Amino acid sequence: MSISAKMVKELREKTGVGMMDCKKALVKTEGDIDAAIKFLREKGLSKAAAKADRATSEGLVHSYIHTNGKLGVLVEVKCETDFVARTDDFVALCKDIAMHIAASNPMSVSADDIDPKLIEAEREIYRNKALNDGKPEKIVDKIVDGQIKKFLKESCLLEQEFVKDPDKTVLDLLNEAIARLGENIQVSRFTRFALGEK
C-alpha cells in the first residue's frame, strides 16, 4: 500500500511523533491510522504530545564553540526536573542542538517567534518575483504560500532538517528525547555568535 504525505501528516498531528516514525508506523500497519497510533504508543513515541503542556522549569544553558574559535552558540533547553537535566542523554541532546544551530544558523526557535512584518515583507518579495517571472495571477498566491513555507522551514530551528540526520527535523529529535526521557523538553532561546557578524 502507498502511504501518502496526507496520512503521515494526520498521524503526526494526532500523536506529535516525528514524520519518519509516523511513516514507518503506517507502513507497518498498512495505512491503518488507529493501528499506527497503537503501534507508536507501544513504542513509547506518542508520549511527546501528551507531555507538551507540562511546565518546564529546569534544564541547561549549553555552550558550543566551534574548533576555530570564531563561531559559538548558547542555547537554553528546558525540561521538567533537575534529575533529567543532569542525565548524559539530556546533555547530549543540548550539545546536538547547539551544534545544529552553529551549522544551520536559524533565525528563531519557531515560526511564532518571527516578526509578522518580516513574513509580510518576504511574501511581497515572492509575489513581485512571481509576477515579474510572468506567472499567471491565479497561481501566484499558491506560489507565494509555498515560498513562505520553505522560508519558515529554512529559518525556524524546530522545522529545520537536523544536520546529523536530514531524515528528521529538530522537532523530531526533541520528540524522540521526550519519549526516551519521559518529560516535556523545549528549546527556549538561543544566541549564535560569529566573529565579525552583528
Chain region(s) in the chain for CATH 3.30.479.20: 51-110+156-194
The pLDDT of residue 52 is 57
- How many Cβ atoms from other residues are within 10 Å of residue 194's Cβ? 13
Listed in order, the ranges of the chain carrying CATH 1.10.8.10 are 5-45
- Tens digit of each residue's pLDDT (9 = 90 or more) over 51-78: 555 667 789 999 999 888 899 999 999 9
* Residues in the chain, total: 198
pTM: 0.69
Q: What is the pLDDT of residue 38?
A: 78
Q: Determine the Cα–Cα distance for residues 136 and 113; give it in Å rounded to an integer.
A: 33
d(CA 186, CA 143): 32
The CA distance from 66 to 195, in Å, is 11
pLDDT of residue 49: 56
Fold classification of 115-154 is GTP Cyclohydrolase I; Chain A, domain 1 (1.10.286)
Q: Say what angle helices 19-28 and 170-181 make with each other, to 10 degrees.
A: 70
CATH architecture of structural domain 5-45: Orthogonal Bundle (1.10)
In the chain, which stretches have pLDDT less than 70? 1, 13, 16, 42-55
CATH of domain 51-110+156-194: 3.30.479.20
Owner of C-alpha cell 544551520: 104
- Rounded CA separation 162/20 (Å): 13
